[in-house]
Amino acid sequence: MAEHRSMQRAALLDAARSLLSEGGTEALTFPALAERTGLARSSVYEYFRSRAAVVEELCEADFPVWAAEVEAAMADAEGPEGKIEAYVRKQLELVGDRRHRAVVAISASELDAGAREKIRAAHGGLVAMIVEALAGLGHAEPRLTAMLLQGVVDAAVRRIELGAAEHPDVIVRAAVSLALHGVRG
């Protein structure tokens, strides 16, 4: 019985990932989850009390995986500039990954405190690594610079997600260039 429940829970989370990557947080509704999984709507409520609870559980499951991939790319890179480039490049590379698309949709939405806390915790290690790399380049305000750098990454992610006129590789190159050389290019 417990195994059956955990399979249904996994199916619901997978359906939630699909809905998020297809239509953002507006698409994530209990009727849509019920339809995708073939469960009765009342059954969906047995697993999750609210949409926020679904998002929170996805954050707990997916953010650490995503953060670990970015962290691994940074760990493999040489020197502070290499680490910063890996930080930008890997996040943008993961945009095509379905799990990451759900993560992007979640990041872009209004989150409750619980979900925000889980995201912050997952991001914590990443931010620490990027702050260290920026400090290594001699930035006077590495933490502030890290937040601004993440803003550049988020803007590039949205541009790729929108299917902008530029090829994703062009967007990645521009974001890396901005991260490493500022507006001088």
Residues 138 and 80: beta-carbon distance below 8 Å: no
Q: What is the pLDDT of residues 138-161, one digit of tens each?
A: 999 999 999 899 889 888 988 887
Burial of 158: CB neighbours in 10 Å, binned 0-12, 13-18, 19+: middle
* HSE value, Cβ hemisphere, 13 Å, CA-based, for 138: 0
Q: What average pLDDT does the chain have? A: 86
Q: What is the pLDDT of residues 86-112, one digit of tens each?
A: 999 998 988 777 666 677 666 666 667
Integer Cα distance of 2 and 7 in angstroms: 9
Per the model's pLDDT, the better-predicted residue between 97 and 3 turns out to be: 3
